Every structure is written in C-alpha cells, then in structure tokens.
Amino acid sequence: MDGEPLVRWDWIWRNWSTGRAGSIDSLLQQHVVMALLPVVLGLVVALPIGLACVRWRWLYQPTAGLMNVVYALPSLPVFMLLLPATGLGPATVIIPLSFYGVAVLIPAVVDGIASVPDHVRQSAVAMGFTPLRRLLRVELPIAVPVVLAGLRVVAVSSISLVSVGALIGQGGLGNLFTDAFKRDFPTPAVVGIVLIVALALLVDGLLLAAQRLLTPWQRARGSA
C-alpha cells in the first residue's frame, strides 16, 4: 500500500494479546508447540533406530537412504497429502516435521556413538560394565555433542518450516505472512520474521547451554 510504513507499532500493540485465536501471542504459542513437538518426537524415534544401526551396521545404509528420500520431500505437498487423514489440524504439520527430524537425527546418533574412542569402550568393559550400563554411562554422554548438534539443526529448521503450514491454516506465526500478503500490509510479515528468528536463536542458545551442562569435561578441558 502506497505510503504505508514498514512497521506500524500501533497495530502490534493492539494485536499482541487480544484474547482472540489470531492474536500475536496465541500464534507464537501455537508456533512453539508445532515446532518443538516434532523435535522431541524426532529424538525419541531416532535414538533407538540410530542405536540399532550402530548394533547392526548393515541396517544403516538402507535406513539412511530412506531417510534422505523423506528429507528431500517438499513440505507443502506432504502437508496436502496428509489432509485427508489428519484434516486441518496441527498434526498435519507436526507429523512431517517429526519425520524430517528423524532423518537428521539418525546420522547424528550413529556418528555420535561412533565418535566414542575404542580404548574408552575397552576400559568400560574391563571395569565390568554391562552393555546397557556402558551405553548409558559412557557412550551416550560422549555422543552428546554430536547428537545435540543435530538436534540444533532440527530445531531451527522446524521453527522455520512451521510457517509453511500457514498455507493450510496451521502455520503459527506463518499466518502473519499470509495476512500481510492478503492485505498488502507489511507489518504482520515483519513481526512474524522477527519472532521466528528470535525463537530460533533462543532455542539454539538453550540447546547449546544444555550441551555445556551435559558435558562438563569439555568446559574443564577448555579452561585448562
């Protein structure tokens, strides 16, 4: 619209929290749920599959190939294919994003476990660790940096891809983009971009902080 400023602050204040479903704060809450639930589901599914691929190495290549095909699928057509089964609900967005997360996290789990030095495993065996105890007390803690690096990628990409769901009415902050386009009014789009970027930075920072808490030996080595 001619003469329209890029950001109209009065519109932001009026629409931040109105108690309506389309208010900015409600869209932000929806975005957080639809973006982070696939991250959690992806990790829950990818962890046992990745461990199975480590245990039976022949399983890894076909699994990785299948997941690469899944990750290559464009999100919007997948959303549309799911519509007859899931309807116009959050599950239409959450399910594909969970599969995308699994596709990234399986290699992260495999590479993380593979990064454990052999002499560390041998030491754990010599100390009488059972395979399960060795996995929980030795291998998984050492694999944390690699797994969390994959988790950071999944989280940031999921936060971004949720907005595509606005084209089927389930995009969280992405609905601000469609609103801006329909009305030729840039303020909602600017608000959506800023909040999505801020959310991605916040979640990435929290995961990085979690990595430092879970790997205190790395902090000690860095300060030495």
Q: What is the pTM of this model?
A: 0.87
d(Cα 196, Cα 30) in Å, to the nearest integer?
Answer: 12
pLDDT tens sequence across 127-185: 888 888 888 888 888 899 999 999 999 999 999 999 988 888 888 899 999 988 888 88
Q: How many CA atoms lie within 13 A of 33 on its CB side?
A: 12
Where does the pLDDT of residue 221 fall: very low under 50, low under 70, confident under 90, or very high at 90 and above?
low
Domains along the sequence of the chain with CATH: 21-216 (1.10.3720.10)
What lies within 8 Å, CB to CB, of 153 at 6+ separation is 104
CA angle 98, 133, 108 (to 5 degrees): 30
What is the Cα Rg of the chain in Å?
Answer: 21
182 sits in which H/E element: helix 174-183
Where does the pLDDT of residue 61 fall: very low under 50, low under 70, confident under 90, or very high at 90 and above?
very high
Amino acid at 203: V
Long-range contacts of 44-49 (CB under 8 A, 24+ apart): 45/98, 45/102, 46/101, 46/102, 46/105, 46/106, 46/108, 46/109, 47/105, 47/109, 49/102, 49/106, 49/109
